Copies of this chain bind each other. A is one copy, B any other.
Amino acid sequence: MTWEVLSIIGTIAFAVSGAIIAMEEEYDILGVYILGIVTAFGGGAIRNLLIGVPVSALWEQGMFFQIALLSITAVFLFPNNLLKHWRRWGNFFDAMGLSAFAIQGALYAVAMDHPMSAVIVAAVLTGSGGGIVRDLLAGRKPLVLRSEIYAVWAIIAGFAVGIGAASEPWQLYALFVLTTG
Contact = CB atoms under 8 A, between A and B. Distances in A.
B55 A49 contact: yes
Interface in A26-85: 26-31, 34-35, 45, 49-52, 54-56, 58-59, 62, 65
Interface string A139-172: 1111011111001100100000000000000000
Interface residues of A, number: 43
Number of copies: 3
Interface string A4-33: 000000000000000000100111111100
A21 B89 CA distance: 31
Contact of A115 (B59, B137, B152): B59
Between A30, A54, A118, A148, the greatest number of chain B beta carbons within 10 A of the residue's beta carbon is seen for A30
Given A136-B136, A137-B142, A141-B139, A59 B28 contact: no
B138 A141 contact: yes
Contacts of A152: 30
Contacts of A30: 145, 148, 151-152, 155
A31 B138 contact: no
Interface in A108-123: 114-115, 117-118
B151 A117 contact: no
Contacts of A102: none
Interface of A: 22, 25-31, 34-35, 45, 49-52, 54-56, 58-59, 62, 65, 114-115, 117-118, 124, 132, 136-142, 144-148, 151-152, 155
- Give the top 5 A-B pairs by smallest Cβ distance, nearest first: A52-B56, A28-B148, A31-B145, A30-B151, A139-B141
